[in-house]
Each structure stands twice: as C-alpha cells, then as structure tokens.
Amino acid sequence: MALIVQKYGGTSVGSVERMKNVARRVLATQKQGHDVAVVVSAMSGETNRLLDLVKQITDRPDDREVDVVVATGEQVSIGLVAIAIQTEGGKAKSFLGDQCRIVTDSTFSKARIKSIDADNIHKALKKGHIAVIAGFQGVDEEGNVTTLGRGGSDTTAVAIAAALKADACEIYTDVDGVYTTDPGICPAAKKLDKISYEEMLELASLGAKVLQIRSVELAMNYKVPLWVKSSFTDDPGTLCCEEDESMEDVVVSGVALDRNEAKISMLGIPDGPGIASKLFGALDEKAVVVDVIVMNPPREGKIDLTFTVGKADLIKATDVVKSLAKGLRATSVATSGEIAKVSIVGVGMRNHSGVAARMFKVLAKEGINLEAISTSEIRVSALIDAKYGELAVRTLHTEFGLDSKTPAKKKK
C-alpha cells in the first residue's frame, strides 16, 4: 500500500462531467489499496473570470484583496470534487490551504510555502477518506489568504507530497508526459519514460510548460518521485526522478525552443571598470530578470554588451539601457524581439565532450547563425534568428538521435 498525491489541473476539472471523471480515477487508485490525496486547480477559465471582475474596478488592485478573490476558484473545485467522489460512493473531505496549514510568506499573489502541517490530512486518510486539497493557495502567519502564482497548484501538490512523505506525486494534465521536444514543432518528438530533476528543471525554465519550475525544484529537494500523466488516457506517463546511471548514457534528453526573449545590445562602450555592474545593477533595481549575457573582449578600447530579457520587460529594460548609454559613452543601443533561444539538455553531457561543438556545427551546416551562446553543466543554449527556430529544433533532434521511429500522433 502506497500513499499517492494526485494533482488535476484546470482542464481536468473544467466541467462537472470532468470532475466526475476525476472522481472515478481517484477512487480507482484507492481501490488498488492506496491512500490518495488529490490537489485540484480552479475550473479552467475561472481564475480569469475572477481577475476580470477585479479589472473592471481597477488596473492596480491591492494584492491582498486579489488573493481573497481568486482563491475562491480552487475552493469551489475542492467542494465539487469532494461531492463528486461521495456521489461515486467514496468518502472524501475537502481542505482549504488554511485547513491543512499550508503556511506561506506574505508575498501576496506569489507567496512561497514555508511549512505544511499534514496532521489533518493524515487523520482524514486514516479514516479512509480521500483528501481533496485546494491548490494554489495558502495562508500567511497572520491568517491572510495568499496565492502561489500561476501554476501554483503543481507546487502545492509536490509540497503536500513532501509533507505527507508520499510515495509518488502524479501531475495529471492534458498531455501524456514529457517529450523530447514540442511535438507541434517536431513530429518525430517522443515521450520520455524517465527524466532527471535537473534536466526537467532546465526544460521547465526553457519554456516547456508541462510543469511549473518551482514544483520541480521542490520535488528535487525532497526527492519526491514526480509523474506527468494524462487525465484522459491510461498512458504510464513520464517519471521525473533522481539521476541514475542509465540516464548518463544518453547525451541529450531534450531540445527546447524559447521564443519569449528579446535581445538588447549596447555597442561601442569605451572600456573601463564597473560597466557591467552599473548596467545590471540598474536593471535589477527595476526587477528586470536578465538571461543570456555576452560581452566581447575590447576591440580598439571599446566593448559591446549584449543580453536577453523576457519580451514583457523589453520596453522597461530598453529605457534603463538608454538612460545609461550617454553616461557610459556608448555609440548606440540596438534591440530585437525577433530572436529565439534553442537549447539541448542532458545529464549525459557531463561525461561526453564535444557536445556543444557538435551542436554549433550542425546548426552552421543549415546556415543558422549564432548570435550568442550560454551554457550550464547539462545545457547548451544558442540565440538565433527567430525564423530559424523550428528548423534548429528539428535539426538538433535528429542530430542527437532523439527522433522516434514511429511518427508521432499529432497532440492536441
């Protein structure tokens, strides 16, 4: 007998009919002899409906009160899912963030979990109940309602699994697992049976929207075996877990494309100490997160600085750069939103040399120019012209032997 935490997202509980489906799945797991805790999101569309009500009043609402409003989405879901389970003949009890003591800090709208007291949930499980837990929400130490930010229900599920010392945490979604790359771009993409936390982290931060990055970090820290499964099929899905030896045989596990960055360059800056610290200090003050940074060695006493930011921050970042350009005596500032970042990820890179070189070579062969490069121990990313994004993904997917032998069914 195992203790299993299952998480169902907004699409999986998007209608009363789908909630009944969730109820049957949960009960089937319980009938196999397991204790089951279920974390649910708001019905799809509900969070946006609530935010829209707020927006009808003001564009600059108080975060505390917004959290009070949007936390109701998950509250409705847990009540309805508990009733659906009871209607299917099971026992169920719902838990708000407050009721299972998911205590967070007081950063409304993107709070971080500080502690969970799983006693109440354990008690309910012991009585044969299925615990139905509101995702996305918690309560701070003063008893204020908080929310964890978009996608926070994944984080709730992993945190609950860690607190309960669960045997597995299963994330049910509308895809049936983690793929080597986006099947919409590369029909030869194949589903992975297993992926390491580190790889998943790199893929999640590169824009693969299967799991929220914080939930993967949390799973890694607490060694929670994390499954990505479909709530509409019986496919075993993908297991995200600690690295094992077999994983290192594979050089590259996945290829990711991120089209959500923009590039800014400050050109012809007379070299001198403190240029980078001035620029990135100023960006940090404005809460602009910088990703790739490239600085060329000085040429004729002048340097070029290039970096990328999220597209949403482009205007803000450009303002900062322009305001500094004069003081730094830069000759010009250039920006571009027409870039893409293509990355290969794999724990096997640690033990295989020449992976980056092989990536650059095959891209060059296709006539794709690299505008900047950034690497980690298990990742190589290249900034390229946006129009080559899909071509680069398919080329790298084939080059590193990831192509499926059976052509993939088109995913919805």
| 401 torsion bin: left (phi>0), alpha (psi -120 to 50), beta (else) | left
d(CA 90, CA 129): 8
**The pair of three-digit structure tokens given for residue 376, joined into one six-digit string:** 């980690």
- Going by the DSSP 8-state scheme, the letter that residue 111 receives in this structure is -
Binding letters toward its own copies, positions 130-149, x by CB under 8 A: -------------xxx----
* Residue 94 binds its own copies, judged by CB under 8 A: yes
* Residue 246 binds its own copies, judged by CB under 8 A: no
Contact status, residue 153 vs residue 5, Cβ threshold 8 Å: no
Q: Which of 83, 188, 267, 293 binds its own copies (CB under 8 A)?
A: 83
Q: Which stretch binds its own copies (CB under 8 A): 24-32, 91-99, 172-180, 250-258?
A: 91-99
- Going from the C-alpha of 330 to that of each of 43, 245, 273, 274, the distances in angstroms are 51, 50, 14, 14
Task: Phi first, then psi: give them for residue 144, nearest 5 degrees.
Answer: -75, 145
CB of 285 to its own copies, least distance (A): 27
* Beta carbon nearer to its own copies, 85 or 321: 85
Q: Which of 2, 16, 295, 315 binds its own copies (CB under 8 A)?
A: 16
**The pair of three-digit structure tokens given for residue 264, joined into one six-digit string:** 């800014």
d(CA 352, CA 164): 38
* Residue 408 binds its own copies, judged by CB under 8 A: no
* Residue 51 binds its own copies, judged by CB under 8 A: no
**The pair of three-digit structure tokens given for residue 230, joined into one six-digit string:** 């479909």
276 burial via Cβ count (<10 Å: 0-12, 13-18, 19+): middle
* Beta carbon nearer to its own copies, 82 or 275: 82
Nearest to residue 79, comparing CAs of 91, 96, 66? 96
Contact status, residue 42 vs residue 207, Cβ threshold 8 Å: no
> Rg (Cα) of the chain, in Å, rounded?
23
Q: Which stretch binds its own copies (CB under 8 A): 57-65, 188-196, 372-380, 399-407?
A: 57-65
Q: How many residues bind its own copies (CB under 8 A)?
A: 38
Q: Which stretch binds its own copies (CB under 8 A): 50-58, 247-255, 308-316, 389-397?
A: 50-58
Q: Which of 4, 13, 26, 80 binds its own copies (CB under 8 A)?
A: 80
d(CA 202, CA 254): 10
* Residue 69 binds its own copies, judged by CB under 8 A: yes
Look-up of token digits 């000085």:
298
CB of 14 to its own copies, least distance (A): 12
Nearest to residue 266, comparing CAs of 242, 283, 251, 254? 283
CB of 55 to its own copies, least distance (A): 9
Amino acid at 24: R
Nearest to residue 308, comparing CAs of 341, 331, 332? 341
Three-state SS at 342: strand
CB of 155 to its own copies, least distance (A): 22
* Residue 50 binds its own copies, judged by CB under 8 A: yes
CB of 350 to its own copies, least distance (A): 49
Q: Which of 19, 102, 113, 228 binds its own copies (CB under 8 A)?
A: 19
* Residue 273 binds its own copies, judged by CB under 8 A: no
Q: Which of 86, 107, 109, 260 binds its own copies (CB under 8 A)?
A: 86
CB of 165 to its own copies, least distance (A): 23
Provide the binding-site residues for its own copies, judged by CB under 8 A: 16, 19-20, 50, 53-54, 56-58, 61-62, 64-69, 71-72, 75-76, 78-80, 82-84, 86-87, 92-94, 96, 98-99, 143-145
